[in-house]
């Protein structure tokens, strides 16, 4: 399900997988059953989910017991963006603060529903999340769009805005926020410049723009991820379209092998692309082996580090090298 981070294809593939395929009734039943159990101690009752959702909250922590009220029923009034995260997830620590800040700025048009997947694995299973962070937009009680991986803030803002535009006439919370005159924070012009260059196919300009950001902010993970995506896309578009046939016909053709792996990754044949290069590492030595190894490691950087395919390929690469 996970494709290279930052790609439009990734969001589309995940959204298509969710469309009409996620049944929230199982968690609804589980939550309702939990609410019928007597409270373990005195205190405020658990939310019943009846009536309109609470107002003024931009970020809410969600469990299996509160999922029905805080996500499904809330989504009948406003857009709910489910953030599947974990404490050990590095990209989550980059992405979550961006989502939370944008939600706070929205004037109540949407909220972030944070789900710790370690504490609530059934919710992650419900959405078929194969890696984290995975972000799922819920409206009208159903998933409407999704992406995985840490995207740059301008891409996230654009994604949210497109959802709000599409749902403005359907959810009262969005209409109310619009009527309240919530003001959008201006986009970061540095990322806007890079994105616009990427969209018009000027990969050299996009690369230069992201590199300028990193010159000033070397630890900016969003710029690093975007830069890796730009470099890969530029290389994949230049790849020989017949590379796979040439590589299969002549295993010693190193250029064909590298191009073929890029094409396979671009088409989401991730395991095939990784395996191809690991096999080349096994049968080469010296500079050729190092060139293939560096190419493969650069491909790993396109994905979430905890993606199972990446972790397996890293193990296989270590075995091939040593």
Catalytic residue among 62, 65, 76, 92: 92
| Residue 92 among the catalytic residues | yes
112 catalytically annotated = no
Q: Examine the domain organization and report whether 119 and 99 are in the same domain.
A: yes
Q: How many Cβ atoms are within 10 Å of 84's Cβ, its own excluded?
A: 25
User: What are the CA-CA distances from residue 229 to residues 122, 135, 214, 301 (Å)?
Assistant: 31, 19, 15, 9
Shared domain check, 222 and 110: no
pTM: 0.48
Is residue 184 in a domain? Answer: no
Q: What is the rounded distance in angstroms from the CA atom of residue 256 to the CA atom of residue 119?
A: 46
149 lies in the same domain as 265: no
Number of domains in the chain: 2
Answer left, alpha or beta for residue 37, where phi above 0 means left and psi between -120 and 50 means alpha.
Answer: beta
End-to-end CA distance of the chain: 31
Last-in-domain residue among 178, 208, 230 = 178
Looking at residue 90, which CATH number applies to its domain? 3.40.30.10
pLDDT in tens, 109-120: 899 999 999 999
The boundaries of the domain holding residue 127 are 8-32+57-178
Q: Same domain for 315 and 245?
A: yes
DSSP 187-250: P-HHHHHHHHHHHTT-HHHHHHHHHHHHHH-TT-HHHHHHHHHHHHHHHHHHS-TTHHHHHHH-
Q: Which of 118, 149, 178 is the last residue of a domain?
A: 178
pLDDT tens track of the chain, all 322 residues? 344 444 443 344 444 444 444 445 444 444 444 444 444 433 333 333 444 444 468 999 999 889 988 998 888 888 999 999 999 988 898 899 999 999 998 888 899 999 999 999 989 888 888 888 999 999 988 888 888 888 888 889 889 988 988 888 788 777 766 554 444 445 688 888 998 998 888 999 999 999 999 999 888 888 888 898 899 999 988 889 999 999 999 999 999 999 999 999 988 888 999 999 999 999 999 999 999 999 999 999 888 777 888 899 999 999 998 8
Give me the catalytic one of 60, 80, 84, 89: 89
Same domain, 196 and 312: yes
Task: Pick the last residue of a domain from 144, 178, 212.
Answer: 178
């Amino acid at each position: 399900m996970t494709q290279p981070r930052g790609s439009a294809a990734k969001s589309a593939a995940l959204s298509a997988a969710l469309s009409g395929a996620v049944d929230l009734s199982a968690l609804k039943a589980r939550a309702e059953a939990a609410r019928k159990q007597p409270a373990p101690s005195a205190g405020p009752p658990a939310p019943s989910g009846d009536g309109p959702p609470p107002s003024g909250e931009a970020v809410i922590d969600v469990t299996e017991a509160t999922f029905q009220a805080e996500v499904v029923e809330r989504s009948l009034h406003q857009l709910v963006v489910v953030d599947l995260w974990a404490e050990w997830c590095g990209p989550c620590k980059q992405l979550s603060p961006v989502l939370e800040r944008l939600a706070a700025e929205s004037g109540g048009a949407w909220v972030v529903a944070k789900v710790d997947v370690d504490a609530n694995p059934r919710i992650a299973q419900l959405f078929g999340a194969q890696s984290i962070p995975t972000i799922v937009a819920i409206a009208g009680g159903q998933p409407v769009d999704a992406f995985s991986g840490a995207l740059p803030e301008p891409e996230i803002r654009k994604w949210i805005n497109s959802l709000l535009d599409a749902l403005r006439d359907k959810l009262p919370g969005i209409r109310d926020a619009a009527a309240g005159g919530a003001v959008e924070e201006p986009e970061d012009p540095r990322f806007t410049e890079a994105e616009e260059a990427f969209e018009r196919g000027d990969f050299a300009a996009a690369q230069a723009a992201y590199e300028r950001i990193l010159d000033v902010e070397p630890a900016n993970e969003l710029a690093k991820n975007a830069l890796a995506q730009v470099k890969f896309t530029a290389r994949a578009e230049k790849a020989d379209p017949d590379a796979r046939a040439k590589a299969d016909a002549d295993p010693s053709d190193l250029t064909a092998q590298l191009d073929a792996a890029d094409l396979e990754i671009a088409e989401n044949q991730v395991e095939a692309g990784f395996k191809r290069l690991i096999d080349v590492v096994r049968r080469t030595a010296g500079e050729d082996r190092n060139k293939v190894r560096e190419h493969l490691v650069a491909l790993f950087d396109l994905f979430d580090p905890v993606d199972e395919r990446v972790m397996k390929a890293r193990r296989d690469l270590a075995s091939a090298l040593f």
